[in-house]
Amino acid sequence: MAAGGELSAAVASTDSNGVARVVLRMCAQPGNNYRVAASCCAGELGRLTVTNGVPGLVYVPAGNEGTLEGFQGRLSEMLTVWRRLHVELDSMNDVSMLKTANYFVATIAEIIEQEGRPVRVRVTQNLGGLDTSPNLSVGGGNGRFQNGHIAFPNLVYLVHAETDLDGNGTNFLHKAAGFNLPFTIITNGVVAASGTVRRLNDLGNSKVLRLQTNDPLSTNFEGHQIDVAGSVATIEKVLPGPKRVRVPASYVITCAVHDDDSDLLLPKLPNMELASTALAQAYVAVRLDTPAVAVHSATNSEFVANVSRSTVLGSLVSARWGSRTLNANDFWVAFVYSAFQGPTYTNSFLTPPDWLRFSDRDPNSEGRVLLGVTRAGHVGGSLVFAESIRDGGGGALPYTEAGVVTHELGHAVGRSDLHVTTVTGGTTNLVGDGVINSSGYYLPEYLDAIRSVLRPAGP
Ligand SMILES: [Zn+2]
């Protein structure tokens, strides 16, 4: 019998039915194996060994046969300790259309033409201040709105959309292919002219729209309205020469700017498919617990585009993890929560210029993406970032959502921050993602960790 178990008695006498009973108390470490041997011959049990090839002793293999050659007695089949892990799953709420949580309302004050195309719009807001990611003004990246789109005048009442943005600077949006903003001039309730806008120049005390149209412009339009993608101004003057109209200095074009995130990902419970299989290899059986608050309910935690470092480290886990205080040596619990994205660029977990800095891949040049995070100490709890996995995960194991969930649960159940590395030719490389291999199974170090802890990360 392997060490760590306990028999209630080493010797037992038969009762009136000829049955002798002892109680085996197994230790709680998952994966420990036991075989119980009984013999009526004194000294016979002392001849058993789990080391093969010892002269004079009888080897007990890891099998299930009831008898062994040369041993006068019987054996149980092999008994293996399994631990039950209660996993509580939860999710952040969805992005409501009416919330500004994941788009940005902007006003365009100028449209700038380059090489005959309106390629840049200047906005009156500070786009660089939103998440301080590297943008076209500061260099090093295309800004949060790379691959994003603009809705005119807003997301709910959509007149026009511009897709495939190339990026943004501190106060402009850029589209190399050119913006194609439609205009109409309406007189007496009918469209008198239509086309697209080539330029919007801010002259300080007025603004001038340069128009692309086959329709003639008439001074009769003065005092009537021009509508550019849903934003209306009164025409003060139709200017001579190229087709231009003067509008008030206060005129701006309202729009909603969205980055390349998918707003359809949440709420969704984390994908446990691989984690259950991987934990089974460590003799841990997963039981999924109903979330403390049902998913798809209005009481899901409110959507936030980026979970900040302080939120991860502080309020979120303790606020959402209902079974957290139940964690104990004889009752294992874990928590996996679907969030949207990890911290923004400058709120990352490590400070620049550390090459290990992780971000949310808005813009795409943020190459190292935080896909999940676990507090492996006494706080516990794991977050997986659904949008970051979709956007920057690479689409293959171990960077799929199921892989990330498995990775994070490895940290939590193994109560370890370790990322396993190998040193080759002086270079340190992660083995797989440092926790699981490319098939989604735990690395040996993590199987060891999971089978050695008293309880998972948590109280
Ligand atoms: Zn990790």
Report the alpha-carbon distance of residue 368 to residue 364 in Å, rounded. 10
**Quick check: helix, strand or coil at residue 357?**
coil
Q: What is the pTM of this model?
A: 0.87
Whether the predicted pLDDT of 296 surpasses 70 = no
Mean pLDDT is lowest, of 122-131, 244-253, 352-361, for 352-361
Residue 316 alpha carbon to ligand 1 centre in Å: 19
State what percent of residues in the chain have pLDDT above 70.
92
Report the alpha-carbon distance of residue 138 to residue 126 in Å, rounded. 13
Q: Dump pLDDT digits (tens) for 168-212.
A: 999 999 999 999 999 999 998 899 999 999 999 999 999 999 999
In a domain, residue 319? The reply is yes
Report the alpha-carbon distance of residue 134 to residue 143 in Å, rounded. 6
| Domain residue limits at 175 | 103-258
Asked if 287 and 251 sit in the same domain, the reply is no
Cα distances from 290 to residues 88, 89, 90, 296, 430, in angstroms, run 6, 7, 9, 13, 35
- Which pLDDT score is estimated for 2? 39
Torsion of CA 191, 195, 196, 202, to 10 degrees: -60
Of 246, 256, 259, the C-alpha closest to 202 is: 246
Whether the predicted pLDDT of 117 surpasses 50 = yes
In a domain, residue 331? The reply is yes
Residue 433 alpha carbon to ligand 1 centre in Å: 7
In a domain, residue 90? The reply is no
Residue 258 alpha carbon to ligand 1 centre in Å: 30
Q: How many domains does the chain have?
A: 3
Residue 349 alpha carbon to ligand 1 centre in Å: 13
Q: Residue 168 CB: number of other CB atoms within 10 A?
A: 31
Q: Residue 147 CB: number of other CB atoms within 10 A?
A: 17
Asked if 370 and 304 sit in the same domain, the reply is yes
- Which pLDDT score is estimated for 293? 46
Beta bridge partners of 193: 185
Whether the predicted pLDDT of 144 surpasses 90 = yes
Residue 412 alpha carbon to ligand 1 centre in Å: 10
Mean predicted confidence (pLDDT) in 434-449: 95
Whether the predicted pLDDT of 294 surpasses 80 = no
Q: Dump pLDDT digits (tens) for 14-27.
A: 999 999 999 998 88
* Average predicted confidence (pLDDT) for the chain: 89
Asked if 414 and 312 sit in the same domain, the reply is yes
Asked if 251 and 278 sit in the same domain, the reply is no
User: Is pLDDT larger for residue 131 or for residue 244?
Assistant: 244
Residue 312 alpha carbon to ligand 1 centre in Å: 14
Name every residue whose Cβ is closer than 8 Å to that of residue 8 and which is 6 or more positions away in sequence: 22, 23, 24, 25
